[in-house]
Amino acid sequence: MNSNNNILVKLNNAGFRQSKKWLVEGVSLTVEKGKIVTLIGPNGSGKSTTAKIALGIYKNIEGSVEKYTTKVGYVPQKISIDWTLPIRVYDFMLLTETIEDSAIDEALSLTGVIHLKNKNLGSLSGGEFQRVLIARAISKKPELLVLDEPVQGVDYTGEIALYELIKKISDTLNCGILLISHDLHMVMTATDHVVCLNGHVCCSGSPLDVAKNNEYKALFGEKASQILTTYEHKHDHVHSDQGEIKKN
Amino acid sequence: MFDDFFIRALVAGIGIAFVTGPLGCFVVWRRLSYFGDTLAHSALLGVTMAYTLDLNIAISVFLISSIIALLLIQLQKRTNLPGDALLGLLAHSSLAVGLVVIGFLTFIRFDIMGLLFGDILAVTTDDLLVIWTGGGLILIVLKLIWKPLLASTVNYELAEAEGLNPDRAKAIFTILMAAVIAISIKMVGLLLITGMLIIPAAMARNISDSPQKMVVFSIFGGLLSVILGLYSSLEFNTSSGPSIIAAALILFILSLFKIKQSIKLKN
């Protein structure tokens, strides 16, 4: 079945219906090792649903999902944690897998929340909690990382740093990332493949291709398209991990 | 002073506390106290079935409670009624059916009070065997499903996405709930089992900052309640089941002071 060993998860014409209403349909996409695939689209376009199909959370789906890894890290968009459970950041890090203390410390340091290690999860702010969620997902060194708007609620400088971190993780761990993001700059700079959703796949391809696509323009407006294309024109350099600029 | 029956009661109660401690934590975390109540009410039906068909009470209660639990899961999927309404429906109808069936069984003299509040002082050596082997099995299984169960308690989708199979853990946990009720119905009674599950765990919540600590404190709270309750029932000649629950309540009230203290420390 798996002709290409780099494939981590593959959706074939996948869709999901909830009480007779299609949340999303006809999605085909592939996430490969070391590649970042980004889902964009307006609210209610089925981005989170697509991620959940890829993760196997939704079971009665149309089409099919082929998953070639069990080492998965997930940062959900909405997480409601019941505070009747006393749980510290440290316990939360060990929730789905037993990992070494050094790996926990490393992940928490990378996302800048090591000082919160023994704090109760309920006492964190939204942004702090988001950083802990990312740390938890990367600490288990997954092969497939699914990030559903991972930087929501994070302050501006933190946002940039976290996106840089995500890019770095995909390189160092050589893991595939399925990312849902509203940040078009991020989509432009780091993503290998963009899938634009609106209940179905409206267009997909490299960031530049998508930006030029008329359906994309119709969905996001001319401005959004300019962000991507102008960005590409200016883009005669690459950023190193430390943020230094290197000429191409 | 230590009559033999008292020692047996103590050993039985200690065995039950070891099991209700950790299970009670999950009951509190997963907001299942009314669910536990429903299973306990349905146990009456199990007891009448045991008498009618001449079965072992623990086995019969276990079967009926498991059936009610599975019925509940099916009803939740197939109807639009909210969970608590379904629980109320099952709890009171199974209790009513149980009482109606008792009415037909005129040839048996039922100790209704014993059934409702338990009779820990009437524990036999066979009962001890049921409690300790059954309890041991329950704890072993709970240990095996601990990670997926805890993870899905925190967040179902996270557990599912990262391959922990939370549905299976939930189904097994439901069976464990039926089992703990089955082994403790004779000792604590169907009205007090939920108290034994919830009160020590609630007490433990007040004084712990991690899931593991809460389980340990919950077990200790249960053990202390059993010992205090039984000794005071001997001393003051009160009924033993309610005395145990009353002791648990006192521990819970004491634990509230600890919260007050920690709030003061923060300020």
Judging contacts by C-beta atoms under 8 Å, the chain A residues touching residue B163 are 70, 72, 96
* In the block, residue with structure tokens 């276990």: B62
Give domain status of residue B236, yes or no. Answer: no
Nearest to A57 among B31, B153, B157 (CB): B157
Question: Does residue A103 belong to any structural domain of this protein?
Answer: no
Domain holding B178, by residue range, is 4-189
pLDDT of residue A248: 46
Assess contact for A143 and A8: CB atoms under 8 A.
yes
Q: How far apart are CA B134 and CA A221, in angstroms?
A: 65
What is the token pair recorded at B100?
């109606």
Confidence (pLDDT) at B13 = 93
In a domain, A81, yes or no: no
ipTM: 0.82
CATH number at A230 reads 3.40.50.300
Asked if the C-beta of B155 comes within 8 angstroms of chain A's C-beta atoms, the answer is yes
Please check whether residue B38 lies inside any domain of the structure.
yes
Helix (H) or strand (E) holding B250, with range, is: helix B240-266
Q: What is the CATH number of the domain that holds B133?
A: 1.10.3470.10
Residue A235 has pLDDT above 50, yes or no: no
CA distance B213 to chain A (A): 9
Residue A86 located in a structural domain: no
Which site among A50, A96, A130 would you substitute to test the B interface, given the most B Cβ atoms closer than 10 Å to its Cβ? A96
Taking CA–CA distances from B145, the nearest residue in chain A reads: A96
Nearest CA in chain A to B205: A86
Tell me what the pLDDT averaged over chain A comes to.
83
Domain count, chain A: 1
Rounded to whole angstroms, how far apart are CA atoms A24 and A13?
10
In a domain, B52, yes or no: yes
- Whether A164 is in a domain gets the answer no
SS3 B102: helix
Residue B177 lies in a domain: yes
Is residue B55 in a domain?
yes
Measured between CB atoms, which of B31, B160, B211 is closest to A91?
A: B211
How confident is the model over B10-22, as pLDDT tens digits? Answer: 999 999 999 999 9
- Residues B44/B98, Cβ–Cβ less than 8 Å: yes
The pLDDT of A43-47, averaged and rounded, is: 87
- Long-range pairs of A223-232 with CB within 8 A, sequence gap ≥ 24: A224/A184, A227/A184, A227/A185, A227/A188, A228/A184, A228/A187, A228/A188, A231/A185, A231/A188, A231/A189, A232/A188, A232/A207, A232/A208
Q: How many domains does chain B have?
A: 1
- Write out pLDDT tens, residues B21-42: 999 999 999 988 888 889 988 8
Among A76, A84, A91, select the one facing B158 at the smallest CB separation.
A76
pTM of the model as a whole:
0.85
Domain that holds residue A57: 1-71+178-248
Q: Which residues of A touch B157 (CB under 8 A)?
A: 52, 55, 57, 74, 76
Range with lowest mean pLDDT among A89-98, A151-160, A227-236: A227-236
Distances (CA, A) of B178 to B14, B138, B209: 19, 10, 29
For chain A, percent of residues with pLDDT exceeding 90: 26
